[in-house]
Chains A and B, each alone.
Chain A
């Protein structure tokens, strides 16, 4: 009997996957465990393995196709086997008409599905793919239209990313009321709009960050750090490392190390607010997520137990992770479970910025660039080197003083960087 290879669920948040590349051809002999294709999920590009032996009878999905979990990718079996029955079970696009929705009541498993649609009449689970259509409640649509807000600019917090009343209200509250003036007349020109498919990663970024921004009340603490000593220290360290063949250490690595140390001293910042369970989780380890920009998005690989690692080790790990991130080779495990995150836009000449907290963290540190600035020292204006750090805090769990004390420690550590090197 031919065997269906379906789109597997590869991450906890995955809803669909894009088949990026085939690793095998029709007619190839496949052994269980062979990689047959690569799939882009919301988090990473991952290998799909065969679980059975056989000949690849048909590639049902083509490179570039997006399939929901359970969608038919390929059919495996013995040479010459009839696969029409198996194909008929799936829709013409290779997907089962609808994934059986999760029912609170247990349903007798069917021995062999013969219908093309599930027998239950339950509503489709929220969040099924929407073919790029913006989902919004009728009220939200009308409110957005009344306020001149394009729906595409809104981020939905409802099921499956549906834009609902509160999402529009939040946007209206932020944006100034639309001007009563008539819309400006445009001179027609040779303009065009490209329509680009929203990637899985983009959808997840959109959803998670919107959720964070709307559910965690953010406040921001900015510290201006004197990095003159850090610059000297870094040069010395890099010279030393160059001799021993190790990779260079960046300012970012120092900041990461400083955060790790400060978080040990201020455990109330190294937390997760979990209201559904009625608890605040306080971690006795520091796993720092480092935001890395990649081709069409952003990932946050995690440095585990950063509090136990030296600056050099941290530097090494971040570099390795960044390379893997850009190659989309990170595994979901490498991106999950941070307790704190840093984000650095200094290399783009950004002096300071505020970042959106990366759930389930309570805080994120936004790192600005080092700049030359006049400073007053002993009553005289002299040239100084400064770096702005801005901490975003979830006020539900981190109060102003707690955040400020943490920032004071980070600043102190960076301004006396030897202490950072002395720490493990």
Chain B
């Protein structure tokens, strides 16, 4: 096991795949000469040259669409968005083209492409730079959505995403790029898309969290441990398709669930997960499903407000105790 930063794990996945398959290229703002806005692609231009690691002007709509055309015509692009906040100007490409052309062509054209970049809150950047997009893109059949929480999953899932013949939205985090973690050095390490990870077993309450929210879930689980309760923590890892089987099996054991999601609450991932749980495990529920999300407001700038805006471990802990009828 090697200990890697998240950015290094992502890079390792791209490098291994690009070494393996000549049809893969990386394109985005500052990915080549600058070595990546967050140094994810550091050294890759030196390794592959300008043909395969390509800087773009600030034209998200243009280069996202360019990637799709290249995928339609036989290549396997990796398109980096400096952040997913900047991809809103490219939403037409993602929503109308990436997700739907295959269907409208009766399956004649497919899109083996990965759109990746950091998602969600990134600190005191105010409202436009703190958006979580996973629920949004998960709304569109035709896309797959992955949101990772640690270096090992990042590497294994990004390799799978690059190999997948369908368009994948791959969500990272500015806050986590520097995070270190053990990464399997198994030859050709991949993790299947659509499989959740049970990060911690327990029987008292099921806590579901992806990306940064996974860490809030784990912190809350530790607090519960101190109270003498074992929470089961699940990192779904893939949002679309979601691994309902793992979650439902856990609910059958714990009879209660808290979903942590740093998106705004309305029609969030938490909303759909809660709906599916009540539909699939109604008779197993001993308490209403609870969720901890960002506030139902745009993200604020002030330090105290942004901290208040985001789900905290304490919030998750309290929600757990509530569904466990402890308070």
Contacts and interface: CB of A to CB of B under 8 A. Distances in A.
A and B touch in the complex (CB under 8 A): yes
Nearest to B251: A139
A165 B284 CA distance: 10
B101 interface: no
Given A139-B255, A157-B325, A158-B325, A164 B286 contact: yes
Interface string A131-150: 00000011111100000000
B283 interface: yes
B125 interface: no
Contacts of B284: 138-139, 142
A165 B255 contact: yes
Nearest to A276: B327
Interface in A162-187: 164-166
Contacts of B109: none
A126 B283 CA distance: 21
Contacts of B325: 157-159, 164, 166
Contacts of B282: 138
B179 interface: no
B285 interface: yes
B287 interface: yes
A137 B283 CA distance: 8
Interface string B255-266: 100000000000
Interface in B261-291: 282-287
A164 B287 CA distance: 8
- Give the most central of A139, A142, A158: most B CB within 10 Å: A139
Interface of A is mostly: helix
A141 B283 contact: yes
Contacts of A140: 286
Contact of B283 (A142, A159, A164): A142
A186 B243 CA distance: 49
B317 to A, nearest CB: 14
Interface residues of A, number: 13
A166 B204 CA distance: 13
A141 B282 CA distance: 10
A165 B253 CA distance: 12
B242 to A, nearest CB: 21
A138 to B, nearest CB: 5
- Give the most central of A137, A140, A159, A165: most B CB within 10 Å: A137
Contacts of A166: 325
Contacts of A137: 255, 285-287
A138 B284 CA distance: 6
Interface in A266-325: none
A96 B99 CA distance: 47
Contacts of B285: 137-139
A145 to B, nearest CB: 9
- Give the most central of B282, B283, B284, B296: most A CB within 10 Å: B283
A140 B287 CA distance: 9
Contacts of B296: 121
Contacts of A142: 283-284
B82 to A, nearest CB: 34
Interface in B167-199: none
Contacts of A159: 325
A121 B293 CA distance: 14
A157 B286 CA distance: 12
Contacts of A157: 325
A159 B325 CA distance: 8
A202 B296 CA distance: 40
Nearest to B283: A142
Given A139-B255, A157-B325, A158-B325, A165 B286 contact: yes
- Give the most central of B255, B283, B286: most A CB within 10 Å: B286
Nearest to A141: B283
A189 B255 CA distance: 42
B116 to A, nearest CB: 34
Given A139-B255, A165-B255, A166-B325, A158 B287 contact: yes
Interface string A350-369: 00000000000000000000
A138 B278 CA distance: 10
Contacts of A141: 283
B309 to A, nearest CB: 12
A168 B255 CA distance: 14
Nearest to B318: A104
A128 B64 CA distance: 52
A137 B286 CA distance: 5
Nearest to B282: A138
Nearest to A142: B283
A121 B266 CA distance: 11
B285 to A, nearest CB: 5
A400 to B, nearest CB: 27
A44 to B, nearest CB: 29
A166 B255 CA distance: 11
Contacts of A165: 255, 286
Nearest to A159: B325
Contacts of A158: 287, 325
A121 B265 CA distance: 11
A353 to B, nearest CB: 31
B196 to A, nearest CB: 22
Interface string A182-226: 000000000000000000000000000000000000000000000
A159 B288 CA distance: 11
A142 B282 CA distance: 10
A113 to B, nearest CB: 21
A121 B283 CA distance: 26
Contacts of B287: 137, 158, 164
A156 to B, nearest CB: 10
A12 B162 CA distance: 62
B323 to A, nearest CB: 10
Nearest to B295: A105
A220 B255 CA distance: 35
Nearest to A168: B286
Interface string B14-54: 00000000000000000000000000000000000000000
Nearest to A158: B325
Interface in A99-146: 121, 137-142
23 contacts: A121-B296, A137-B255, A137-B285, A137-B286, A137-B287, A138-B282, A138-B283, A138-B284, A138-B285, A139-B255, A139-B283, A139-B284, A139-B285, A139-B286, A140-B286, A141-B283, A142-B283, A142-B284, A158-B287, A158-B325, A159-B325, A164-B286, A166-B325
Interface of A: 121, 137-142, 157-159, 164-166
Given A158-B287, A164-B325, 10 more contacts: A121-B296, A137-B255, A138-B284, A138-B286, A139-B283, A140-B286, A141-B283, A158-B325, A165-B286, A166-B325
Q: Which 10 A-B pairs have the closest CB atoms?
A: A142-B283, A165-B286, A139-B286, A137-B286, A138-B285, A138-B282, A138-B283, A139-B255, A164-B286, A139-B284
